[in-house]
Amino acid sequence: MKIVKTVILLAALLLAPVCAFSANIGHMRISLIEGELQINTPEAEDWGLASVNTPLAEGDQLWAPQGSRAELQLNGGTYIRLDGNSALQILSMDRDASQFYLSQGSAYIYFDAPDSSVIQVDTPDASTRAFDRAVFRIDMSDQYTDIAVYRGRVETENKIGRTRVSEGQMVSLGQNTDGELGPMGPPDDWERWNKKRNERIVSGRSASAAHLPSELSAYSNDFDDNGRWVLEPEYGYVWAPTVSAGAGWAPYRDGRWIWRGGDYVWVGFEPWGWAPYHFGRWGFSISIGWFWVPPVTREVYWSPGYVGWVRTADYVGWVPLAPGETYYGRGHYGRHSMDITNITVSQVNINVYKNVTVNNGVTIVNRNTFATASPQIVTVPRSDILQKIFTKNNLSVGTPSIKPAKEGHFASGKTASSAKMPPETIRNIQTKQLKQSRPFVKEADKSVFTPGIRPKSLPVTTVTTPRTPGKGKPVIQQIKPDDRKKETPPGGLFDRREKPQVKPEEKKPAAPEGSPPDKGKPSKEQIKPEDKVKETAPLRGLFDRREKPQVKPEEKKPAAPEGRPQDRGDRQQLRPVEKKPVIPEGGPADKQKPEKKQGKSEEKKPSEDEENPKKR
């Protein structure tokens, strides 16, 4: 039994990196950088410069300094673009559902995912979700967030409630405010830049779409702009890149391996170097040169890099895999692949790879520099490659087991200047805490801020004056917690909170008859003040201090039906703690009252009542 448990534990430990890797890497890349873009990954736990085609995963943070812009692409066809002085955190991501947090700046979202997909973009003020194809923009300020929609519609929610924003509209709201809904003003430079990028996406999906599997159609523009499709006798239509590096160029050479998700992942520096390096295989012919063979529909698997590895005491080398050759990786990558997680090296029989014989097909670096900021490519005679390096004894199963240096987590070997580093508020953000504080809600009828409950409707003021997103100032008002209570349906917490606010004297108008109700069976409205005191004897002092200052003398007249003239004088002389005008019988309290104002009383009425008090 212990042996079985040990085997299960070892299997779980071995599979854990694979599950994490497959769940986090390959869904998203950096597709464009203008200026500079910085990245902080869970593996690096620090900020460094990013490069085009860097894979992105859950937990990553991105910072675009002033004057920079960046574009991020998901494999389903969605783009997220960042303007200067913008910070984005990736909280959750897969092909059909993703969540991001814009902690500062401006983001433009081109949401073009498959049906039944959802994207959620949070800010400190609000949460915005799209469930159908949409194009929208989010701009943050210190006090509020603008959400503008160019196509489709989105649902925006803050702590007060939710509202829908349709095409051509913009809503502004804060954390605890109502919303201002109005038309968008004239486009600014950020909007014009994004529209040009959108046009490129649409125009680039026609030529290559006929030759690519549907799973890769989102990358059509990369193939159209950087190469040509050629009919190859053995493989059909293949793609040949247009490169200017000369005869020495080969796939998987212009770039570097970085440590991501528990493995080394190739980052190609060519603008098109995403799909051809992580999907499909490479071939070579005299008439075409290097060409890329796309995978078959429904056989599309992303990998860290389809290459064969070799290691010696001095070198680390790799070569592009040809169609049909086995890829040894940590996970399942379809046909012609082997999961090396649960096998030993002795179980693998690797043949010499086909592209080793191609001139300059092999890339070799000095082993000591492989995982550093500047891997050194070395030139080795072709005879040595065939006879001493790429021999069967040196062939490696999977990526080399070399611990990455700190610089090995970033594709760029350069360092960012201190002036362009993220502000301290951004550097202190923890994505795990963000993810816990802002849940990812995929159901359209559920609330983000109160999970499991249908959100309330946000009070919105509609205006007619156009305003450019991120410019000007909306007219929005804070909604206090007391105002939100009034929206609570009757019969619940609302009633329990409101009842103590009813003053005792406000209940008395319900008994208009005066004294007769006092003689009958007392109801809640008929209870006399002295009866309340008896019921709350243990708290008499506190009760008196709270209730009596609220009772005005003239409001107690209905409780004294006889209404004698001296009663008015007597009430003026009563101390707050002596609440006795309503006692029906006379007594010491009646006889011992001060007689400061009895002059007028005696003129109007003899002292007969004082002599015979029971006549009353």
The pLDDT assigned to 116 comes to 86
Average pLDDT over residues 552-556: 47
Q: How many CB atoms lie within 10 A of CB 466?
A: 13
- Listed in sequence order, the residues at least 6 apart from 459 whose beta carbon sits closer than 8 Å to its beta carbon are 160, 161, 178, 179, 479
For the residues 335-353, what does the mean pLDDT come to? 76
pLDDT reported for residue 189: 97
Q: Tell me which of 239 and 401 has the higher pLDDT.
A: 239
Closest by CA position to 222, among listed 52, 95, 25, 37: 52
d(CA 213, CA 216) in angstroms, rounded, equals: 6
Handedness of CA 590, 591, 597, 599 (dihedral sign): positive
Across 332-358, average pLDDT = 81
pLDDT tens figures, 294-315: 999 999 999 999 999 999 999 9
The torsion defined by the Cα of 403, 409, 415 and 418, in degrees rounded to 10, comes to -110
- Lowest-pLDDT choice from 94-98, 238-242, 441-445, 490-494: 490-494
Alpha helices (H) along 450-528: 481-486, 493-498, 516-519
Q: Are strands 69-74 and 395-396 parallel, antiparallel or unpaired?
A: unpaired
pLDDT of residue 393: 83
**Residues making up the chain, counted from first to last:** 616
- pLDDT over 60 at 177, yes or no: yes
Beta strand residue intervals within 133-208, DSSP E = 134-140, 145-151, 153-157, 162-166, 169-173, 179-183
Distance, CA of 272 to CA of 220 (rounded, Å)? 10
Radius of gyration of the chain (CA): 39
Burial of 181 from C-beta contacts in 10 A (0-12 / 13-18 / 19+): buried
| Sheet architecture: strand order including 460-462 | 55-56, 28-34, 69-74, 79-82, 106-111, 134-140, 145-151, 169-173, 179-183, 460-462
Name which residue leads in pLDDT, 247 or 4: 247
Q: What is the mean pLDDT of residues 574-597?
A: 45
At residue 352 the predicted structure's pLDDT band, cuts being 50, 70 and 90, is confident
Task: Pick the range with the lowest mean pLDDT from 47-61, 420-434, 580-594.
Answer: 580-594
Once rounded to an integer, what is the mean pLDDT over residues 372-377? 89
Contact by Cβ (8 Å): 265, 257: yes
- β-pair type (179-183, 460-462): parallel
Confidence label for 340 from pLDDT (cuts 50, 70 and 90): confident
The pLDDT of residue 570: 41
pLDDT tens-digit readout, 495-513: 333 444 444 444 445 545 5
Coil/strand/helix, residue 535: helix
pLDDT tens-digit map of 399-419: 988 988 888 999 998 888 889
Determine the 3-state secondary structure of 551 from DSSP: coil
Please state, in angstroms and as integers, the Cα–Cα distance from residue 450 to each residue in 49, 163, 230, 563, following that order.
Answer: 38, 15, 55, 58
The span from the CA of 57 to the CA of 21, in Å, is 9
Residue 172's pLDDT is 97
The whole-model pTM stands at 0.75
Q: Which domains does the chain have, with CATH numbers?
A: 29-202+429-462 (2.60.120.1440), 210-417 (no CATH), 564-616 (no CATH)
